Amino acid sequence: MAKGKRQSSNDGQVSGADQFIPRIDTEVAGVRFQNPVWTASGTFGYGKEFSHLIDLNELGAIVVKGISPEPMEGNPSPRIYETESGMLNAIGLQNVGARRFLTEKLPFLRTLRAQCIVNVFAYSTEDYVRCLEILNEGEGIAAYELNISCPNTRCGGIVYGSDPKLTEEVVAASKKAARYPLFVKLSPNVTDITVFARAAEAAGADALSLVNTLVGMAIDIETRRPRLWNVTGGLSGPSIKPVALRMVYQAARAVRIPIVGLGGISTTEDALEFFIAGARAVQVGTANFYDPGTSVRLVQGLRDYCQKKRLHLSQIIGSLEVPERPTPMGSGN
Amino acid sequence: MFDEIVAVTGNRHLGGSHFLLSVESPRQAQAARPGQFAMLRILGRSDVLLRRPMSIYNLKAKNSGGKNDPNPAAPQILEFLYKVVGHGTRLMSTLKRGDQIGLLGPLGHGFFEEDYLPQAHQANEILHVAGGIGIAALLLPAKRLAEAGFRQRLFFGGRSKADLVGVEDFRPLVRGMLMATEDGSAGYRGFVTRPLEEYLERHTNQKYLLMVCGPWAMLRACVELAKKYGHPCLVSMENRMGCGLGVCLGCCIRVQGSGHEAYQRVCTEGPVFWAEKIVWDAADGK
Q: Which of B76, B107, B138 marks a domain boundary? A: B107
Domain end, chosen from B55, B77, B107, is at B107
Confidence (pLDDT) at A19: 86
C-beta neighbour count of B216 within 10 angstroms: 17
A17-74+92-214+237-316 fold: TIM Barrel (3.20.20)
Residues B143 and B70 in one domain: no
Q: Judge whether residue A328 has pLDDT over 70.
A: no
Q: Is A259 helix (H, G, I), strand (E, B) or coil?
A: strand
pLDDT tier, A2 (very low <50, low <70, confident <90, very high otherwise): very low
Q: Do B121 and B225 sit in the same domain of this protein?
A: yes
Say if residue B14 is in the same domain as residue B140: no
Cβ separation of B284 and A52 shorter than 8 Å? no
Nearest neighbour of A80 by CB, restricted to B245, B250, B283: B250
Nearest CA in chain A to B264: A73
Are B238 and B219 within one domain? yes
The pLDDT value given to residue B121: 81
In this prediction, residue B46 carries a pLDDT of 83
CA dist A284 → B80, B93, B176, B215 (Å): 31, 31, 52, 35
Q: Does residue B84 lie in a domain region?
A: yes
- Amino acid B120 reads A
Same domain, B101 and B185: no
Distance in angstroms (rounded) separating the CA atoms of residues A292 and B92: 21
As to burial, measured by CB atoms within 10 angstroms (0-12 exposed, 13-18 middle, 19+ buried), residue B56 is: buried
Spatial separation of the C-alpha atoms in residues B78 and B8, rounded to whole Å: 10
> DSSP characters for A166-209?
HHHHHHHHHHHH-SS-EEEEPPS-SS-HHHHHHHHHHTT-SEEE
The CATH number of whichever domain residue B12 belongs to comes to 2.40.30.10
Confidence of residue A173 (pLDDT cuts 50, 70, 90): very high
Model confidence at A73, pLDDT cuts 50, 70, 90, reads confident
Contact B235, B216 (CB under 8 A): no
**What is the ipTM, given to two decimal places?**
0.90
- The answer to whether residues B85 and B7 belong to one domain is yes
Average pLDDT (B155-177) is: 95
Which one of B107, B136, B169 terminates a domain?
B107
User: Is residue B283 assigned to a domain?
Assistant: no
* Domain shared by B26 and B155, yes or no: no
Residue partners of A256: CB distance under 8 A and separation at least 6: A201
Q: Please report the pLDDT score of residue B165 as a whole number.
A: 95
Please indicate, yes or no, whether residues B272 and B133 belong to a single structural domain of this protein: yes
Does A160 or A50 have the greater pLDDT score? A50
B100 Cα to chain A: minimum distance (Å): 15
Is A150 an active-site residue?
yes
Which residue in the list A116, A131, A150, A306 is annotated as catalytic? A150
Question: Domain tally for chain B?
Answer: 2
Say whether both B120 and B99 belong to one domain.
no
User: Does B103 share its domain with B120?
Assistant: no
How high is the pLDDT of residue B280?
Answer: 92
Boundaries of domain holding B184: 116-277
In a domain, B169, yes or no: yes
Per domain, the residue ranges of chain A are 17-74+92-214+237-316
B29 and B159: one domain? no
Q: Do A85 and B102 touch (CB under 8 A)?
A: no
Is B179 part of any domain? Answer: yes
Mean pLDDT value of segment A233-239: 96
pLDDT band of B62, cuts 50, 70, 90: confident
CATH number of the domain within which B155 lies: 3.40.50.80
Q: What percent of chain B has pLDDT over 70?
A: 94
One domain for residues B101 and B22: yes
A327: pLDDT strictly greater than 70: no
pTM: 0.90
A53 vs B1: CB contact, 8 Å cut-off?
yes
